Structure 1
């Protein structure tokens, strides 16, 4: 047996003057026995001669105590603590803006220097006055509790800070169990009122104090302790109860918080039932425990008499500060926040399955820094608020804006015309609330998507050019009842002789021989159907997919002739990604919402990366630029063009669905792509006969798009697009 500091060669305690000391005069046979064992425990001589009396008094057979104790593990595996994760956006000055926090346990771990001395002294005075003098077990307290157990036939307290730390670590380990049944079984074992549990904690407490310094154990205890409800750790407790930090707590506040640890239910401060007898004498239970701790701090010379008296006289005045919890706290950015949380739960980067990913996020202490540009986001929020109401009589109206950075896929803005809620009762009772993100796919918290109308024609245009046709080539563009057979290399020829499909043009244009460019500028439906007759329907679908276009509900894209004019329900974010790909010389980069993630230790974690692919050749993209710039300057998108300031080179394409129920504006500079739309979530309304306060519903898309792109152009600028020469782009047909 090694001799520890402070003990003589036979293990007896040497006289000394500790910083926290307490002298007892045990009487009688039990007192003498307990005093002897106390000395042994204090010196770490916890072997058969010391354990046997403790165990025997605790109700276990003395003959089994040595074998039982030595069979227990000496080492406690300490798993990372559950901490809240935060989602941030970056502000214009480069500082992070907190959007929302997520947690199972509201905890923020802090370092030694981030905890005030009052807290440390109050903890020791209230829970373990001889903390710095023993080796993990407070012998006097433990054996006194054992004696009381024998005499009173119940398990008493007396646990040291190290023992309490061990118990909390064991409970935290239970929280990581995969199922509720396993968690409860583990929890019952870790908190069982039994001598065997106490003995196990004693053994582990000795091991903890061999492995860590006293200060490390005390800090670990302060970071792991429960302060009632879902509040864990001294920093979150200071934030929640007094709207301050652990380093700034006053003496009275420190004692009040450490009172809660002793019995979170009895000494709580956030329940109206715990307040009584007016402000001066409120929170009587907490006050009694607080004042006991203050008395102990005075007794052990940790505070002066004046400090003690002032703290005792101080009223208990909690300032309950609810932490940011979930995306509803993100305000207008709540739907983007919801999209980010969906990515964290669905991307394999964050875990093998959905449950693991959610657990990692809610407990991992992540700081998630997103791609959101608050200047563009604020502009989109203003534009939406000024142009689309939260609700409209007789119409389930939806407004959406999504912006994506060209060349990277980074989502810069995402808003819609509803307030965010995850409460089905609220969403069902109030049409101004929804849980659905209209901008995203169904599996990302979104809806089933919306028909984009003529905005989808850009994929037919791309395939038209890919198959060698020119912008100047003319097609049979007359409206007709029978469109005959279309080529489809995947499904076989598709016959449209039926009179049930006879699409018309938006303004009832009857031109019989439009060029591809004319059909693009004026968005002629029959012109594009005529173009589709000359190319491959399967090719159109594959080209759309090359631009990362997909149905919002996860089903395959429809590749019929009717799909040419936009019947596939898609998410606005998908359209923004596609237009960013067109603007990027035909290279499409998938959407990403997270720039970086830092874990609780400060280490960088992997994040989903944008996947970029060459959707069309640069020459095809250049011809598309030529046509889609014309849409802005002299076609159906001129209202967006003329309303944008400053103006840089921009491409665009409008979209309107049957009956004017959905209206879209899709476009991009060389730097930013934006989609703005007013859609019918359920039912429909004729937007050309509907007025909002800002004007005609069908033109709200232009007002919103230009407002966002004006800010984007001012911040990001814009370069000329690549365009092929008119002689190539407009070469006559063969």
Structure 2
């Protein structure tokens, strides 16, 4: 009874198969089978089902590995879900093509997607046994695997299971659908195209998809270079990859290989000698196993690889959502060309580790990043740690140079490198860089030394101090304060009190806006804080990426470029994608940028904090040291016309003072300033990067900018605020009112201005006027006096 039921079931569902075998001409014409009494009503029902099934089947692009390339073409990383490299058929050895056809479908080049002989044999076998075995052509197998692959890629587990069902009603339906798709496929594509698709699609064991990835993995060569024994081995793996791959199952692989070779000999694809030589060949002697990981952790450059990977996950050209972008990255066969220079990175790595060794006893870390002015392309990053999720000494998974969302961290406080932005604002406001800052006298002395106290009077408003709040500003050892000091001298010597005074005159919010528009932000992506200490003395955590790129903007004559590690992205077909995260704009005028450079060149000249780190041959360069109060972090950021580099040295996990330390065989007595170690590392990195390259000089600002646009500031002392404003605006200046100062004038009258009356400054500059409180000045009270800047 059970046997009778099985016969009826099989005949009902596979009757269409018989009909197909008998009416191939009609199938070729239109994929429709007429129910004309082939085998009774049961078979007619099967034919009806067959005709109602969808027929259209497309050979969709295969998921394949993407490649992240360095500037010299070497591979940095290979993101993938399935390790597959799609190649055209002419890049697959003919012997590999023959081997696959021989073992899978010897009549492949004769049938139209369905093999009538095999089909009839399978039906007779299935009537007498369980399952739906046999009869599958190579084309049908391609359909089955492609359907499963598509279902898995879309997350449809039910469809994936249905695509490989082997028994029961579901198995019969699956076979019937495969048959119709196979015939459809044969109508649309050539045999060569189908074989190409099959060899690129199927699984070859040991996590290798497609013949190219398999050939590289097992034999360390491309599919075009496969020998007869190698090709036969791979062809034999496909049927049962879990038990016949040559690495994990060499005996089974050898047996299966010889079966393939026997088929090839029987089908006259190879000679008897070729057959005997290949079957006696030692399978293991060919193995040259090469493993490729999809994880950046196994890359030679893991930190940069993860930076690129995270940058790509934020690139809109790869998809609307992060999930879509990751799918494109892991399955789109993208070629990602980065700007990473392995030679520069190797030198950077050596330079950093020679001065701040890995896992040093002081637990001091160091990192650097180099960027190209005018493009925003990151050329190299380096740090004195090995990549690891294990946070033991000398190991870290955090890239110290990039923001949190790029695989980095929170950033580090940048110290006096922030003074760069005060000078940019000063030049934009028309401040005479050859003039003076009238530095307040010391207000007192505490445990940290002499200080100048600033209050809400000097720093009012959103970016200032709260009423009653004091900010005590100290200078480094040996620096006096009080009285006129040239802007260039204050910059070269990094005088904190001078810059606090300068920013109180410029407006702290103006300087904060300059930092923001030049791309400086906290490492977690939030806006830089608006406290005077953060704006002037760099007490906010920033990354080397943002700092180096801001300096690069000035190096590029004021052209700001979005920082990026990727030069281009091509899809699997070689089509270039437009990068949304790329672009440059003229942020500062050329004259402003060139004037700022003129100021910061002095840092590397006699009297400057980094004079000892001037570049080889006195190559033109500009930059700024940075040391956080208490020497908890130290920096140097600097540039030439070609390169900008930021170097950080400090403790990654705490704010411990850097004092009296031994690093790289050298003892550093006292505090570790930016000039002590960060600047020397910067020098070696830049010297290595620029060695042998022609020297380029910075362009000078125009004489019209420096001199031709200057006008004399009217003397407004004793005027009412309205009259003073009118006089200054008529002369072409902008005006803002500063806090009231004690002076021997009636309350409300203007006691002075910054710059002061009689000084020649750039037209359009902002002049700050100070009304009188009407109180006589105290001999001990510091005041914000107007700067004296002789012409």
Question: Is this a same-fold pair by TM over 0.5?
Answer: yes
Query: Paired residue for 1:192, among 133, 158, 165?
Result: 165
SS at match of 1:440: strand
For structure 1, the residue ranges without an aligned partner over 5 or more in a row are 1-28, 275-282
What secondary structure is seen at the aligned counterpart in 2 of 1:533? Answer: helix
**Quick check: 1:419 aligned with 2:386?**
yes
Question: Corresponding residue for 2:261?
Answer: 294
Question: Which residue of structure 2 aligns with residue 691 of structure 1?
Answer: 662
The partner residue of 1:478 within 437, 441, 444 is 441
2:373–2:553: 8 Å Cα contact kept in structure 1?
yes
- Is 694-703 or 151-160 further displaced after alignment? 694-703
| Matching residue of 1:5 | none
| Partner in structure 2 of residue 407 of structure 1 | 374
Pair 1:502-2:484 in alignment: no
Residue 723 (structure 1) shift: 4.1
Paired residue for 1:337?
305
> Paired residue for 1:7?
none
Give the stretch that moved more between structures: 489-498 or 560-569.
489-498
Q: Distance in 1 between matches of 2:126 and 2:426?
A: 88
Matched, 1:303 2:243: no
Is 1:536 matched up with 2:507? yes
Given candidates 698, 707, 713, the residue that maps to 1:720 is 698
CA distance in 1, matches of 2:18, 2:690: 82
Q: Is the 8 A contact 1:647 1:710 kept in 2?
A: no
- What is the CA deviation profile of residues 409-467 of structure 1, one whole-angstrom value per residue up to 9, with x for unaligned ones? 1111111111223xx3xx23x33222211111111111000011000111112222333
Matching of residue 639 in structure 1 with residue 612 in structure 2: yes
Answer whether contact 1:398 1:438 (CA < 8 A) is retained: no
The one-character-per-residue Cα deviations of 1:242-297 (angstroms, maximum 9, x if unpaired) are 212211111111111111100111212232xx2xxxxxxxx222222211111111
Counterpart contact for 2:421–2:515, Cα < 8 Å:
yes
Rounded to whole Å, the distance in 2 between the matches of 1:52 and 1:455 is 90
Q: Corresponding residue for 2:430?
A: 468
* 8 Å CA contact 2:336, 2:570 repeated in 1: yes
Change over 3 Å in CA distance of 1:98–1:647 after alignment to 2: farther
> Which residue does 1:442 correspond to in 2?
404
**Correspondence 1:237-256 to 2 at 5 A:** 237-256=214-233
Cα 1:52–1:544, aligned 2, differ >3 Å: closer, same or farther?
Answer: farther
Matched residues in 2 for 1:418 and 1:133: separation? 61
Q: What is the TM-score normalised by the length of structure 2?
A: 0.80
- Decide whether the 8 Å contact of 2:552 with 2:639 is kept in 1: yes
Q: C-alpha separation between the residues in 2 aligned to 1:616 and 1:215?
A: 59
> Root-mean-square deviation (CA), in Å?
2.7
2:244 aligns to what SS in structure 1?
Answer: coil
Q: Give distance in 2, aligned partners of 1:678 and 1:583.
A: 23
C-alpha distance in structure 2 between counterparts of 1:496 and 1:321, whole Å: 68
User: In the aligned structure 1, how far is the partner of 2:479 from the partner of 2:17?
Assistant: 104
Is this contact kept in 1: 2:595–2:701, CA < 8 A?
yes
Corresponding residue for 1:549? 520
Displacement, 1:376?
A: 2.3
Name the residue aligned to 1:207: 184
Distance 1:65 1:717, change over 3 A: farther
- Show the counterpart of 2:624: 653
CA contact (8 A) 2:404 2:410 kept: yes
Residues 495 and 88 of structure 1: CA distance in aligned 2, closer, same or farther (over 3 Å): same
Alpha-carbon contact 1:48-1:65 (below 8 Å) kept: no
Q: 1:35 to 1:673 in 2, by over 3 A?
A: closer
2:645 to 674, 681, 685: 674
**Which residue in 1 is equivalent to 2:768?**
none
Written as runs of structure 1 = structure 2, the 5 A alignment for 1:609-648 is 610-634=582-606, 635-641=608-614, 644-648=615-619
- Counterpart residue number, 1:351: 319
Which residue in the other structure is 2:22 paired with? 40
Match of 1:596 in 2: 568
8 A Cα contact 2:362 2:662, kept in partner: no
1:478/1:78 CA distance change after superposition, 3 Å = farther
Q: For 1:65-76, list aligned pairs within 5 A.
A: 65-76=46-57
Equivalent in 87, 90, 93 of residue 68 of structure 2: 87
The corresponding residue for 1:453 is 415
Q: Distance in 2 between matches of 1:269 and 1:486?
A: 80
2:340 aligned counterpart, secondary structure: strand
1:491 aligned to which of 462, 478, 494: 462
The alignment of Structure 1 onto Structure 2 pairs a total of residues equal to: 671
Cα offset for 1:394?
5.6
CA distance in 1: counterparts of 2:629 and 2:193, whole angstroms: 68
Assess if the C-alpha contact under 8 Å between 1:255 and 1:290 holds in 2: yes
CA drift of 1:187 comes to: 0.8
CA distance in 2, matches of 1:36, 1:617: 81
Deviation at 1:534, TM superposition (A): 1.4
Partner Cα distance (2:324, 2:366) in 1 = 34
SS of 1:102's partner is coil
Aligned to 2:733: none
- The Cα of 1:488 is off from its aligned counterpart by 6.5
1:391 aligns with 2:359: yes
Which whole-Å CA distance do the structure 1 matches of 2:518 and 2:101 have between them?
64
Cα offset, 1:374, TM superposition? 3.1
Q: Secondary structure at the match of 2:524?
A: coil
- Structure 2 Cα separation of the partners of residues 166 and 324 of structure 1: 29
Structure with the bigger percentage of strand:
2
Do the aligned partners of 1:377 and 1:413 also contact (CA within 8 Å) in 2? yes
Native 8 Å contact 1:487 1:536 kept in 2: no
Secondary structure at the counterpart of residue 567 of structure 2:
strand
Q: Distance in 1 between matches of 2:343 and 2:138?
A: 50
How far the C-alpha of 1:378 sits from its partner, in A, is 2.5
Contact map agreement 2:58 2:185 (CA 8 A) in 1: no
Cα distance in 2 for partners of 1:152, 1:322 equals 43
User: Is the CA contact (8 Å cut-off) linking 1:390 and 1:417 kept in structure 2?
Assistant: yes
Does 1:319 find its partner at 2:288? yes
Is the contact between residue 463 and residue 508 of structure 2 (CA under 8 Å) also seen in structure 1? no
For the residues of structure 2 that align with 1:658 and 1:340, how far apart are their CA atoms?
A: 34
Task: Give the 3 Å change call, closer, same or farther, for CA 212–339 of structure 1 in structure 2.
Answer: same
Q: Tell me the distance in 2 between the aligned counterparts of 1:488 and 1:306.
A: 93
Go from structure 1 to structure 2 and tell me whether the alpha carbon gap of 1:465 and 1:310 turns closer, same or farther (over 3 Å shift). same
Structure 1 pair 264–646 and aligned structure 2 pair: CA distance change class (3 A): farther
Q: Deviations over 1:176-197 (max 9, x none)?
A: 31xxxx4312211211220110
Quick one: structure 1 residues 225 and 636, their matched pair in 2 at CA, closer, same or farther if it must change by over 3 Å?
same
- Structure-to-structure mapping, 1:223-234, within 5 angstroms: 223-234=200-211
Q: Which moved more, 1:219-228 or 1:380-389?
A: 380-389
> Are 2:393 and 1:431 aligned?
yes
Alignment pair present for 1:165 and 2:142 = yes
Tell me how far 1:608 sits from its aligned partner: 3.9
Counterpart Cα distance in 1 of 2:531 and 2:235: 69
Contact 1:84 1:102 in 2 (8 A): yes
Q: Deviation digits for residues 127-149 of structure 1, max 9, x if unmatched? A: 00111111101222233223222
CA distance in 1, matches of 2:424, 2:104: 74
Moved more, 286-295 or 44-53: 44-53
SS at match of 1:559: coil
